[in-house]
Chain A
Amino acid sequence: MTVFRLLWRHRALIAVLVRRDLDARYRASVLGFFWSLINPLLLLAVYAVVFTYIFSPRFPGGDPYPLFLFSGLLPWLFFSGAVLDGSATLIDNGPLLAKVMCPPELFPAVTVLSHLIHHLLALPILLVALIVSAAAGQHSFPWSFPLVVAALVPWLLTTAGAVFAISVLSVHYRDMRDLIGHLLNLLFFSSPIIYSLEGLQVPAMLHRVLSLNPLVSLVTVYRDAVFTGRVSPPQLWLTAYAVGIVSWWLGTRVFAAYRETVVEAV
């Protein structure tokens, strides 16, 4: 709670820092902020081609597959992008931390928020794709789309918790970043992003292990809203929010434990 209050007190500064983050990303390129859209679109194209034409998916996905994939990939890119940037954010802002009295909480928060804004900027593309595919009669339009706001909240909390913990751990343990890359890979393939857990043809044991992944509920709730077009069952919503809250709580606890030594370690 105190973290919330601190961030709120510095909201004007956070706004400036987020703006700077976005500016820095877009200014240097001719295409400006379209880069932020091209990235997920490229990734989407690669996965769509690979799983439509090269491997015929042995797992059940929704139809059309690119849309199904996109609805899983979008929140994942938010999460993984923020976590990757988060592992460097305190180190990059070391000069500020070491010379001005500056609450270190600001920087992971800025990382999360600027990735959230990216995500929100990419949502219209998904919406356009949904409308086009509905017009072509391939997929009925998911009228549950506005629920995306509610589905984003657990994503936001989970991401923030992870970024808080990882930002401060990477300062103290410099090999954290390498580890993060591997962990993200593992998490990506164990989450139902390129496949769906329902009716997955794997041994029951593996299926059970996969369902333990805390991101399952988050991915499903989000995809239900923006792709499947149904309201997820309440226990799924509860799980997703519980995951978010636990992650936030844990992340801020870890941050608090290492906070005082950040400046010395940076």
Chain B
Amino acid sequence: MKGSIRFSNVSKIFRWRGPRTRHETLKGAFFHRRVLRRRSSSDQHVALDGIDLEVAPGEAVALIGPNGSGKSTLLKLTGGILKPSSGTVEVDGRVTALIELGAGFHPEITGRENVVINGMLLGLGRREIEERMQEIVDFADIGPFIDQPVKIYSSGMYVRLGFAVAVAADPDILLIDEVLAVGDEAFTRRCLNRLARMRQRGVTMVLVSHDLDLVTSFADRALYLDRGRIVVEGPADAVAARYRSDAVGDSDRDDHPPPVRNVDDNTRWGNGDVDIVSVELCVGENTSRLVASGGPCSLRIRYSVHKPTEDFVFGVAWHRSDGTQVSGHNTDLAGLVPGRLEKDGEVSCEYDSLQLSPGEYLVDVAVHARNGLAYDYWCDALKLRVTSEVEWPGVWSPPHRWRSIGPEWEESDGTPARDGNSRE
């Protein structure tokens, strides 16, 4: 199917360059018989190790992970720029790639000529390029620079033009490697807008980014790569949260035992120093899964301590099932200074008035160190439904009223619209 990507057990192995020289020389080849000798495994760097991946047409997938984890290599394999050392890569449809600052441009020739060459490499005919040239030039918006050699471009211009060409080529699959970070705000917004439109048209996208907010807002799914392997794969926000927690844990890995949870369970992780036992929604005295919009309620979190600590933060994050972030709060942000956590117990987060629109909500609950290291991070620990008489759109449903200064309204009893959702 056009726009699909499939990796089966793909590995990519790079050979190290010689220790002293970056590039091999003929001299070296002849005198040290490098040409004939079989490479030993110490000469190799495994960039990707047995990757299985399937991306459906129209899906947006983000690749996250530390530098050198294999994200760009994976992207290049998808783009056909590199060949896998083993395994198979199947890609269906026209692929355009924005890898490491823009499309491939030749520095000596003008932007316009580069557009032609790039367009042809992407499979457009000459006439198609001429037709789209104006659109590309307009989108890049780099003024007279378009007729100057690319070597004098600023990195921003380079990215602008690269982006303009890549999206104009009408790809089935678009690969984006950390390019949105370079443009100015206006251009980034324009890019995101364009990308959103392309997504609606069903263009498959694979995105490499360190901007986790972008990842969670843009991608359906994320892959967290480390040292050439997929650590965890799943909904973008859960994977991003996991990566965030690991990235903090990484800096003081020695102080903490490695995560004890099964890595395959990508909705919950942490090192297990403190465990969340249960999470309940309480309305009045009862536990429930339903709460009225605007009504009081609380989240009751029961925990058990395996390793006493003086560094702990309890937090909850509300989001919609489509991934929209609603709110997040924790004891640290609330100004609570941790004392000592020694015995099992309970903590409760109380809301006087839950001003949410009706619908289904998910709550992540976590207990972690102040630097973010997770003891227990539990995605979607609780699913609940907010109810209301009126189907307010959006997520926020504040009490409100309309007051007439000019217009006149008929009195129609019982219409809640007159008086918001405030209830007495």
Binding site for B on A (CB under 8 A): 10, 12-13, 16-17, 20, 23-24, 92-93, 95-102, 172-176, 179, 260, 263-265
B77-134 at interface with A (beta carbon < 8 Å) = 79-83, 95, 97, 99-100, 102-109, 113, 116-118, 120-122, 125-126
The answer to whether A95 touches B81 (Cβ under 8 A) is: no
The answer to whether A101 touches B108 (Cβ under 8 A) is: no
A206–B117 CA distance with the chains assembled, in angstroms: 50
Known: A16-B120, A20-B109. A99 touches B24 (CB 8 A): no
A93–B25 CA distance with the chains assembled, in angstroms: 20
A93–B106 CA distance with the chains assembled, in angstroms: 7
Known: A93-B106, A95-B106, A102-B104. A263 touches B82 (CB 8 A): yes
Binary interface encoding of chain B residues 7-19 relative to chain A, with 1 for a CB under 8 A from any of its CBs, else 0: 0000000110000
Known: A13-B121, A16-B117, A99-B97. A173 touches B26 (CB 8 A): yes
Known: A20-B113, A174-B23. A13 touches B120 (CB 8 A): yes
The answer to whether B116 touches A16 (Cβ under 8 A) is: yes
Known A92-B106, A101-B97; further 16 A-B contacts with Cβ < 8 A: A10-B120, A12-B120, A12-B125, A13-B121, A16-B117, A16-B126, A24-B108, A96-B105, A97-B104, A99-B102, A100-B81, A101-B121, A173-B24, A173-B29, A263-B82, A264-B15
- Is chain B's binding surface mostly helix, strand, loop or mixed? loop
The answer to whether A175 touches B27 (Cβ under 8 A) is: yes
Q: Name the B residues within 8 Å of A12 (CB-CB).
A: 120, 125-126
**Chain A min CB distance to B87 (Å):** 15
Known: A93-B106, A95-B104. A100 touches B26 (CB 8 A): no
Which residue, B15, B27, B113, has most C-beta atoms of chain A within 10 A? Answer: B113
Known: A12-B120, A263-B81. A100 touches B109 (CB 8 A): no
A100–B162 CA distance with the chains assembled, in angstroms: 11
In the complex, 21 of the A-B residue pairs with CB atoms within 8 angstroms, ordered by the A residue number, are A13-B121, A20-B117, A23-B109, A24-B108, A24-B109, A95-B105, A95-B107, A96-B104, A100-B121, A100-B122, A101-B79, A101-B80, A101-B121, A102-B121, A173-B24, A174-B21, A174-B24, A174-B25, A175-B26, A260-B83, A263-B81
A13–B129 CA distance with the chains assembled, in angstroms: 12
Q: Name the B residues within 8 Å of A179 (CB-CB).
A: 26
Of chain A, the residue at the smallest CB distance from B14 is A264
**Chain B min CB distance to A220 (Å):** 32
Sorting the interface of chain B by its residue count into under 10, 10 to 19, 20 to 34 or 35 or more gives 35 or more
What 9 pairs across the A-B complex have the smallest Cβ distances?
Answer: A99-B104, A96-B104, A101-B80, A174-B23, A13-B120, A173-B26, A175-B25, A100-B104, A95-B104
Q: Name the A residues within 8 Å of B80 (CB-CB).
A: 101
Q: Name the A residues within 8 Å of B25 (CB-CB).
A: 173-175
Binding site for A on B (CB under 8 A): 14-15, 21, 23-27, 29, 76, 79-83, 95, 97, 99-100, 102-109, 113, 116-118, 120-122, 125-126
Q: Name the A residues within 8 Å of B14 (CB-CB).
A: 264
**Chain A min CB distance to B71 (Å):** 15
The answer to whether B23 touches A100 (Cβ under 8 A) is: no
- Is chain A's binding surface mostly helix, strand, loop or mixed? helix
**Chain B min CB distance to A202 (Å):** 31
A97–B142 CA distance with the chains assembled, in angstroms: 25
Which residue, A23, A99, A175, A176, has most C-beta atoms of chain B within 10 A? Answer: A99
Of chain A, the residue at the smallest CB distance from B79 is A101
A28–B221 CA distance with the chains assembled, in angstroms: 50
Of the residues A16, A24, A101, A176, contact of B26 by C-beta under 8 Å = A176
Known: A173-B24, A173-B25. A96 touches B83 (CB 8 A): no
**Chain B min CB distance to A179 (Å):** 7
**Chain B min CB distance to A16 (Å):** 6
The answer to whether A99 touches B106 (Cβ under 8 A) is: no
Q: Name the B residues within 8 Å of A24 (CB-CB).
A: 108-109
Of chain B, the residue at the smallest CB distance from A172 is B24
A101–B125 CA distance with the chains assembled, in angstroms: 16
The answer to whether A98 touches B117 (Cβ under 8 A) is: no
The answer to whether A264 touches B82 (Cβ under 8 A) is: yes
Known: A173-B24, A174-B23. A101 touches B105 (CB 8 A): no
A62–B95 CA distance with the chains assembled, in angstroms: 59
